[in-house]
Structure 1
Amino acid sequence: MSTTSEDNRNSFAQFDRSFQEKIVQALLTDRQWAARMAEVLVVDYFEYAYLRQMSSKYLAYYRTYKEFPSLELFITVMKDELKAINDPALAEQIIGVIKNTKIKKDYGDLEYVKEAAMAFCRQRAFKNALMECAELVKSEDQYDRAVEIVQKAISSGQTYTPALSLEDDIDARYSETFRNVIRTNICVRSPDWDMIDGPSLDAKKILNGGSGSGELNVVIAPTGVGKSHWLTHVGAAALTQGKNVLHFTFELAERAVGVRYDSHLLGIDSLDCSERRAEIKQFYADNAGILGKLRVKYFPTGTATVQTLRAFINKLALENFRPDMLVIDYAQIMRSTEKYDLPRMELKKIFEELRAFAAELDLPIWTASQSNKEGAESDIISLANMAEAYAQAHICDFVVGLGRPESKKATGIGTLFIAKNRNGIDGLSYPIKIDTAKSRFSLLTEEESKRLTEDQEKEAQEEQTRVRQSFKRIMEKAGESGVQFASPRSE
C-alpha cells in the first residue's frame, strides 16, 4: 500500500465522529467563529444525521436573522423539531451534544477544532467535487463543468462576511437576542431584596435589557465610594442568571473578593461571613446547577495586560471553563501592550484593547475608572471626572458615575448618573442606596429618597439635641460643685 493512500486514510480518520460533534459544539458557543464558518460549512459535510439536523437548523436561523440564537433558544427550537420528527434515536444523539455543550465538556479541545475545521471543510468539499466529477470526465463536453466544480471546491476555505443590508436585514437589526444581554439587576428593591416596580438600569430606555456581548461598561467613582463593590454586584447578578463570571482583581486578594460575593448572594454582612460558613456552604449546595460558575484571579497592580488576561482564559479553557462575562477591577491599574511616556495615552490604549477584547470574546466586560479629585465632593460624577484621560470615554459603550460626597458617606445614599450610553438615553440621575457591607446597590424612588433624607436629618437633629442636653447637665453639675469655667479671652 502506498504511503500516500495511507496518509489520505489517516487524514479522513482525523475528522471522525468526535471531531465533527465538536465542530457543532464550537458553532453553538462561539458566535463570531460560527459567522465565518457559515460561509464555508455545508451541512452535508457531516457524516451523521443528527449533526446535519442540528447544524441545518442553527445555520438556517443565522441566514434568516443574520445572527445566531442563544443556546437556550436553540434548545427550544430543537425540541419543537424533534417533536415533529419523532425519532427517539436521533433525539438522544442531539440531546447528548447539547448536554456536552451546556456543561462545556472537552471545552479545551475546541480551539484546536476551530483551527482544523477549515481543513475539514476543504477536504469534504474536494472529496464531494471529485465524486461529482468522476462521471463528468467521461463526457468530453463536460470538462469545463468539471473544472468549475474543482475550482469551487478549492476556494471553499476562503471566508467572506457580507455587510448588513438596509433592505434585506430588517429582522437582524431588530432581533431581541443579537446583544445576548446580561442584566445588572441595579433596580428598586424591597427591604427583603426582592425586585419591585420602579427605575431599573436594565430598562428598555437605558440598557435595553442589560450589558451586551462585545460591550465595554465602566463605573466611575472617587476612591472609597464603592467601585469594587459595584463590580461585585454586577458579577453576582450574572451568576444568578446562570452565567459564568471571570473576575480579575489587581488590588484586593482573591479570598476577599470571594467573601464579597458570598456576602452579596446571601445578604450577609461581609464581617459576619466567617461565622456563617455552614450557611454559605448550604446555599451553594442548594443552588448547584442554578448559579453560574465564578473564578477570581489576582494579578499584582500594574503587571497585567490584555495578553495576560487572554493567556489565563486559554488556561481555563483546558478546565472546560468559558466565561460569559469579564469583571476587571480595574482597568486603570493595568498595563497596555505598548509603552507610552504619557499616562493619558497609556490609559487610552488600555481601554481600546479592552474594547477589542470584549468584541473578540463576544462577551460584556465591566470595569472601573477612578474619578479626579473634583469628583470627591460632587454628587454628580460625569465624563469630565474621568481621571487622567477623557479619551477613555470615547471608547466605552456605557459609563455610569457614582457620586457620594464625604459628608454623605455615613448615610449610605449616593447619586447614580448615566454619563454615556450607546444603547439608550443618558444624562439621567437616580438616588441610589450603597450597602458596602453586602456589596449591594439599589435604586431609590423619589419618595424613598425623600423619606430617607428626612429620617437622616431628623436623626442628626436628635443627636444634636442629645449633645446639647448632655452638655447642659455637665454644666449644671459643675455649678453645683462650685467649679467655675474661665471665660474666653477677647483678642
Structure 2
Amino acid sequence: MYNVLTNEAYTASIADVLKPEYFKDVHIRSVCTIVLNFFSERSALPTLTEIKPYLTTPELKESFKKVLTTISKFEKKYNTDELLQNTETFIKEKAVYKTLVSVIDQCQDGVVDTSQILNKFESACSISLAQSLGHDYFDDVESHVEDLKTIDKFVPSGWDWLDRRLGGGFLENGRALYVFAGRTNVGKSIFLGNIATNIAAQGKTVLLVTLEMSEMVYSKRISSTLTKIPISDIQNKTDELLSKVKEYRSLHPKSKLLIKEFPPATITTSQLNGFIKKLDQSGVNLDVIVVDYINLLHSSQGSNSYERVKHITEQLRALTYTYNVPIITATQLNRSGVTELNPGLETVGESMGLASTADCMMSIWQEEEDAQLGIIRLGMMKNRFGPNFGAIGMRIDYSTLTLSEDEEINDTEEFSEINRTLSQLADP
C-alpha cells in the first residue's frame, strides 16, 4: 500500500488489475479505492492536499490515519523486481479466489455460463506486470549491431521456393506465426501434413495438433506420405508399412512426430498452452508446432467471428514467444476467394484480424484443370521476412498425399507471366 500511495510508476502498472476488495483490512480497502479512483481520473497520485476532499466521513478520515501510521513503519528500501513479482503473485491469487467465489455463487443460483467462467479464470491467470523498458536504440546500439551479426537459424520447409521466400525457412527460435489459406477441400491439411513430415525428417520434434481429423486418420495420411504406399491400399499392406516405417526410423533416429487430437471448437489457446507445458515438463522439447487448423480453436472472448478469430490468432502467436518455436497453421478463404487465382489478403475468411496478426500468409489454390493434372498452386500473400509476391505450381500425388516441387510446371510461359506481373505490382 505504501507504493500505491507514493510510487506513481508502480501504481500505473497495477491500476488496471488491482481491486480494493483484494485487501482484507477495511482501512486499506477504503484508502485504496480513493487512490485508484483518483488515479483513474487524473493519471496521477493525489497529494495530501488533494486527497482531503475525498475523506468525506469520519470513518474515511480514520482509515486514512491508520494507513499512514502503518506504512510509516515500513522499510523504505526494497528490490523493485521482487516487489513486482510479489505483487503479481498477490493479485493473481486474489483474482483466482474471487473468481472461484463468484462461480460458486452462480452455481448455487443455478446460473452457469461455462464460457464466461472459463474467460474469468483465463483472465485471472494471465495477469502480468512485466516491466521491460525495451531497447534503448542510441544508448545500446552495440547490442543492436551484435544482433545484426547473429545469423538467424531456420527450419526448412522442405520446399526450396518457399524457403527462399521466407529467408531460409521457418524461424527456429519462433516468434512467428505462419498461415496457409485456402478454400474448403483444396488441400490445406495435405500441406500441413507434408510440412510436419518434412520437418520431422530433419531430426526435429514436431507436434501436430489436429482439430478436424482423428489421430489415426492423420497417422494413415502420414504413413502414406512417408512410405509412398497408396492411401487406398495401406490397410492391405500393413506388413510393408511396418517394415518401411522401421527402416525410416533407423535412418532418422532423432525424428519425432506427435499427433494430438482435440474435438473441434472445444479447446482454447490457453488449454493448448497447458498441453504443451505438460509435454515440456515431461522432457519433450518441441521444435515446431503445427495446428490444423486455427479457425477450429475455441475462444470465449469476442461477440462475433472477427473478434474471436483475432483473439485466437493473437494468443496462438503469443505461444511462439512462450516456447520459442514457430507455429504453422491454416485458415479458410471467404466466398470471394474461392474462384480467385492467387487469392489476396482480402479473401481471408472470417477475420482480417488474422491476416494483420500473422507474420506470413501463403495462399493455396487450383485452376480449372489442375486437380486432374495433379497440380496445386502456392502463392505468397503476406511476408514479414521477404518478398510478399510470387507463386509456384507444385506436384500433388493424390494417391499418397505427397507434395513436391516440379520445375516443368513453373517453366510454362503462362505461369512465368503471372509471376512477372505479381513482381511488378509489388514494386513501389
TM-score by length of 1: 0.54
The reply on whether 1:209 has 2:168 as its aligned counterpart is yes
The reply on whether 1:260 has 2:221 as its aligned counterpart is yes
Bigger drift between 322-331 and 408-417 goes to: 408-417
The reply on whether 1:328 has 2:291 as its aligned counterpart is yes
Deviation of 1:429 after TM superposition, in Å, equals: 1.3
Q: Which runs of 5+ in 2 are unaligned?
A: 1-77, 86-130, 416-428
**CA shift in 2, pair 1:269/1:166, >3 Å:** farther
Deviation of 1:219 after TM superposition, in Å, equals: 0.3
Partner residue of 1:482? none
The reply on whether 1:429 has 2:391 as its aligned counterpart is yes
Deviation of 1:244 after TM superposition, in Å, equals: 0.7
Deviation of 1:162 after TM superposition, in Å, equals: 6.5
8 Å contact from structure 1 (residues 240, 290) kept in 2:
no
Q: Deviations over 1:100-150 (max 9, x none)?
A: xxxxxxxxxxxxxxxxxxxxxxxxxxxxxxxxxxxxxxxxxxxxxxxxxxx
Task: Give the aligned residue type for 2:159.
Answer: I
The reply on whether 1:339 has 2:298 as its aligned counterpart is no
8 Å contact from structure 1 (residues 266, 280) kept in 2:
yes
Partner residue of 1:148? none
Question: 1:391 is paired with a residue of what secondary structure?
Answer: helix
8 Å contact from structure 1 (residues 370, 387) kept in 2:
yes
Deviation of 1:290 after TM superposition, in Å, equals: 3.1
Task: Give the aligned residue type for 1:391.
Answer: G
* Counterparts of 1:255 and 1:419, CA distance in 2: 32
User: Within 5 A, what are the aligned runs for 1:82-231?
Assistant: 163=135, 165-177=140-152, 180-187=153-160, 200-203=161-164, 206-212=165-171, 213-231=174-192
Question: 2:346 is paired with a residue of what secondary structure?
Answer: helix
Task: Give the aligned residue type for 1:364.
Answer: P
Partner residue of 2:330? 368
The reply on whether 1:272 has 2:233 as its aligned counterpart is yes
Partner residue of 1:191? none
Partner residue of 2:262? 299
Question: 2:399 is paired with a residue of what secondary structure?
Answer: coil
The reply on whether 1:237 has 2:237 as its aligned counterpart is no
* Counterparts of 2:133 and 2:246, CA distance in 1: 45
User: Within 5 A, what are the aligned runs for 1:457-468?
Assistant: none
8 Å contact from structure 1 (residues 214, 358) kept in 2:
yes
Q: Which runs of 5+ in 1 are unaligned?
A: 1-150, 188-199, 454-491
Q: CA RMSD in A?
A: 2.9
**CA shift in 2, pair 1:393/1:264, >3 Å:** same
**CA shift in 2, pair 1:422/1:448, >3 Å:** closer
**CA shift in 2, pair 1:387/1:210, >3 Å:** same
8 Å contact from structure 1 (residues 217, 396) kept in 2:
yes
Q: Percent identity?
A: 26
Q: Deviations over 1:141-181 (max 9, x none)?
A: xxxxxxxxxx99x98x999787263344323223224xx42
TM-score by length of 2: 0.61
Q: Deviations over 1:216-249 (max 9, x none)?
A: 0000011111000000011111101111111111
Partner residue of 1:251? 212
* Counterparts of 1:169 and 1:448, CA distance in 2: 40
Question: 2:352 is paired with a residue of what secondary structure?
Answer: coil
8 Å contact from structure 2 (residues 203, 253) kept in 1:
yes
**CA shift in 2, pair 1:404/1:447, >3 Å:** closer
Deviation of 1:335 after TM superposition, in Å, equals: 1.1
Deviation of 1:449 after TM superposition, in Å, equals: 5.4
**CA shift in 2, pair 1:301/1:413, >3 Å:** same
Question: 2:209 is paired with a residue of what secondary structure?
Answer: strand
8 Å contact from structure 2 (residues 394, 409) kept in 1:
no
Partner residue of 1:283? 244
User: Within 5 A, what are the aligned runs for 1:398-437?
Assistant: 398-405=360-367, 407-437=369-399
8 Å contact from structure 1 (residues 186, 441) kept in 2:
no
* Counterparts of 2:363 and 2:241, CA distance in 1: 32
Match of 1:450 among 406, 409, 412: 412
The reply on whether 1:377 has 2:336 as its aligned counterpart is no
Task: Give the aligned residue type for 2:322.
Answer: E
Task: Give the aligned residue type for 1:186.
Answer: W
8 Å contact from structure 2 (residues 392, 410) kept in 1:
no
Aligned residue pairs: how many?
286
* Counterparts of 2:324 and 2:195, CA distance in 1: 18
- Please identify runs of 4+ aligned residues in structure 1 that moved more than 6 A: 157-162
Deviation of 1:354 after TM superposition, in Å, equals: 0.6
* Counterparts of 1:394 and 1:386, CA distance in 2: 11
Match of 1:308 among 262, 271, 275: 271
**CA shift in 2, pair 1:166/1:264, >3 Å:** farther
Q: Deviations over 1:376-432 (max 9, x none)?
A: 222212211101112211111111001114543222213211011111111111122
Deviation of 1:326 after TM superposition, in Å, equals: 0.8
Bigger drift between 234-243 and 165-174 goes to: 165-174
Q: Deviations over 1:48-88 (max 9, x none)?
A: xxxxxxxxxxxxxxxxxxxxxxxxxxxxxxxxxxxxxxxxx
Larger Rg computed on CA atoms:
1
* Counterparts of 1:329 and 1:434, CA distance in 2: 19
Question: 1:279 is paired with a residue of what secondary structure?
Answer: helix
8 Å contact from structure 2 (residues 225, 402) kept in 1:
yes
**CA shift in 2, pair 1:313/1:168, >3 Å:** closer
* Counterparts of 1:318 and 1:412, CA distance in 2: 43
* Counterparts of 1:160 and 1:201, CA distance in 2: 35
Bigger drift between 272-281 and 320-329 goes to: 272-281
